[in-house]
Structure 1
Amino acid sequence: MSHAGKKRKLDKSRQDRLYFDSYTDVTIHEEMIADHVRTGTYRTAILGNSEAIRGKVVLDVGAGTGVLSMFCVQAGARKVYAVEACSIAEQAVKIIRQNNMQDKIEVIRGTVETVELPEAVDVIVSEWMGYALLHESMLNSVLYARDKWLSPGGLILPNKAELYIAPMSDPVVEERLYFWYNVKDQYGVDMSSMYDFAEKCIRNSDIIVNPVTVEDVLSHPARFAELDLNSVTTEELRELKGQFQCSSFGCAAVNAFCVWFTVSFPCPDKPQPLVLSTSPFKPETHWRQAVLYLDRPEDVVQDTVVTGEVKMFPSEESDRHISIHVDYSIGEQKRQSKTFSIPDWSSES
């Protein structure tokens, strides 16, 4: 793993505290509710499954403000257990009362791994996805709830996830790097020696979460992993991997890969599932895309083949943070590899 120095892994209790503390502020909840692709798709999916929800018991894992729990009541749920570990649960109680749903929704403060429910559930709903799908590792909690509380044949919303990768060319990176060659023209001082330092800083091993424009994507997306939430295990999530192959659209310099995900909801009255996509080819969501900058750009022409393997696993510093390792070949270039991580929490107070 490409780090300046190995950092001490955070103990699990500190990882969890930092994670749950991040949800105590209004900003993150505002961002999620305001994401109409996210929130609107969940509402459509829940109401679209009303036949399976009506008169049934639902578990909302990581309920937050309780909005999904309330959608379930709108879909006819008899009882909803809204499990939430952080203090936003207090606000959820107020919102649920404000909407006169307190008789049907019970907010339970705690993690799903530690709370007790009075009965099994027929449906599990959760918005568990993090950056690059698995960042925050909340899916583990959903799988725990599935194995402990979901009745046989029960419904999970969403019930499927897919991961995609594509090569890209980010012109901003090249503009930032060549900036140092242009300083002399502006100010009469040659600062081109900064290029190598700037390149090391910019083309680092961080997973950068940014919106990617369609024009910067250099191929059709390649799917490298698929998860069935009815059967996937936490052990399989310890190292999720898959092959990819794609062909470039035209002449450009590949300087990064971008990774994104979709999740799917069953649609009983339609032949195709309802898909929530974080693709750069679709409307932007608050997840944006995960951008992985290569150490150096590689030129491609029309139909240059890009192949490789992606591995996703918990980072060395925190089980809740994701690392992505990419082995790749671009055209005739020899196989290269690089490991990326989302910056860890250990530097936070």
Structure 2
Amino acid sequence: MAYFHSYAHVGIHEEMIKDRVRTETYRAAIMQHQSSITGKVVVDVGCGTGILSIFCAQAGAKRVYAVDASEIAVQANEVVKANNLSDTVIVLHGRVEDVQIDEEVDVIISEWMGYMLLYESMLGSVITARDRWLKPGGLILPSNATLYMAPITHSDRYSESIDFWRNVYGIDMSAMLPLAKQCAFEEPSVETITGENVLTWPHVVKHLDCYTISIHELESVTTRYKFKSMMRAPLHGFAFWFDVEFSGPAVSPTNNHTPSSHVDDNPLDGSQRKKRANPNEALVLSTAPEDPPTHWQQTLIYFYDPIEVEQDQLIEGSVTLSQSKENARFMNIHLEYASGGRSFVKELVMR
């Protein structure tokens, strides 16, 4: 319950709403799909302050069920009242697994994505709502998501955290280095990098189709990666980011979920990554380093020591992301890496 309690704090919601890229993309997606929302029943999974529910009401929804397990639902109800939308928006305080909705719904909307896409993600709740209430052919926003990874170089960050111990007011404090490295890099770091930090085109770790994915698939995600460095540089670790797409339901089985084994093992070059079936069709919310920053930033996994890589040098290995047994909201990360005759394993917990 601590997880839900933390989401009662207004600061978290303020940060998310002030993220204009996030909030305006959601509003644009609602307006783009207005014909599927007007006169229809919508459920907003993890409604927070209720802003997406209100956008849906403004788009002409017949009824919106705004569901949230945290105490923020009390405030959401007040916000709905203050905007004279109590006839349309029904706030349900409870978990998606527990609340009752006595009709099928036409649309599920949710801002479920966590850092690194899957950390503290509410996708499991979206899947539960889909399986409980969504009509056949109903709409899910966003409809799919893709998690990427790429090797990065980030000398400034390494210097700030580590190198300054070599000379502190003229004193050699390098005995602090092992501890400094452990404290700085033993857990994933959420920060903003730019395209200049990235050494190669990204690799698809996992593609998620919200219409077909099962809760079981989220328990563990594994991919093998193989990169070729575009330049000579110190390799400091890997960055992860994601994008989500707001497109309609698949119209035929051929558009449906691509088997993950096919997608996961193909590093995409930049031209492929930007291609869509129809660029005018799907709105995309991206957290990539080259796109405008969001509150998700990027998630970085740093090595304790940088590795010098040459241009065209292969960087390969595997990464597994799995739900922690102690807390399903935590994520265990198992990273295996090999390049230039060196190999190692790094285990982290994102908590």
Fold-level similarity (TM above 0.5): yes
Partner Cα distance (2:313, 2:296) in 1: 29
Match of 1:26 in 2: 10
- What pairs up with 1:59-70 in 2 under 5 angstroms? 59-70=43-54
SS at match of 1:328: strand
**C-alpha displacement of 1:297:** 1.6
- Does 208-217 or 123-132 show the bigger shift? 208-217
Alpha carbons 2:333, 2:350 under 8 Å: kept: no
Identity %: 45
Aligned mate of 2:235, from 254, 267, 271: 254
**Structure 1: gaps (5+ residues):** 1-16, 344-349
- Does 249-258 or 28-37 show the bigger shift? 249-258
CA RMSD between the two structures: 1.7
- Aligned residue pairs, count: 322
Match of 2:67 in 1: 83
Match of 1:6 in 2: none
Alpha carbons 1:48, 1:267 under 8 Å: kept: no
Partner Cα distance (1:304, 1:177) in 2: 26
Deviation readout 1:114-156 (Å, 9 max, x if unpaired): 0100211011000011111111131111101100111111110
Q: Cα gap change, 1:249/1:77 in structure 2, threshold over 3 Å: closer, same or farther?
A: same
Partner Cα distance (1:316, 1:174) in 2: 35
Deviation readout 1:20-61 (Å, 9 max, x if unpaired): 111111101110000001000000001100111111100111
**C-alpha displacement of 1:270:** 6.1
Confirm or deny that 1:177 pairs with 2:185: no
Partner Cα distance (1:193, 1:246) in 2: 35
Instruction: Give the TM-score taking structure 2 as reference length.
Output: 0.87
**C-alpha displacement of 1:157:** 0.4
Deviation readout 1:45-88 (Å, 9 max, x if unpaired): 01100111111100111111111111111222111111111111
Deviation readout 1:176-217 (Å, 9 max, x if unpaired): 32212223xx33x3322222332233232x111111232222
SS at match of 1:275: strand
Match of 2:341 in 1: 333
Match of 1:201 in 2: 183
Q: Cα gap change, 1:253/1:303 in structure 2, threshold over 3 Å: closer, same or farther?
A: same
Partner Cα distance (1:144, 1:176) in 2: 42
Alpha carbons 2:152, 2:237 under 8 Å: kept: yes
**Structure 2: gaps (5+ residues):** 250-277
Partner Cα distance (2:64, 2:43) in 1: 6
Match of 2:126 in 1: 142
Aligned mate of 2:317, from 299, 308, 325: 308
Partner Cα distance (1:246, 1:316) in 2: 31
Alpha carbons 1:170, 1:216 under 8 Å: kept: yes
Aligned mate of 1:238, from 214, 219, 223: 219
Partner Cα distance (2:127, 2:136) in 1: 14
Confirm or deny that 1:157 pairs with 2:130: no
Matched to 2:165, the amino acid is W
Alpha carbons 1:45, 1:267 under 8 Å: kept: no
Partner Cα distance (1:158, 1:257) in 2: 26
Aligned mate of 1:296, from 302, 305, 316: 305
Partner Cα distance (1:203, 1:125) in 2: 35
Instruction: Give the TM-score taking structure 1 as reference length.
Output: 0.88
Aligned mate of 2:210, from 229, 233, 257: 229
SS at match of 1:256: strand
SS at match of 1:257: strand
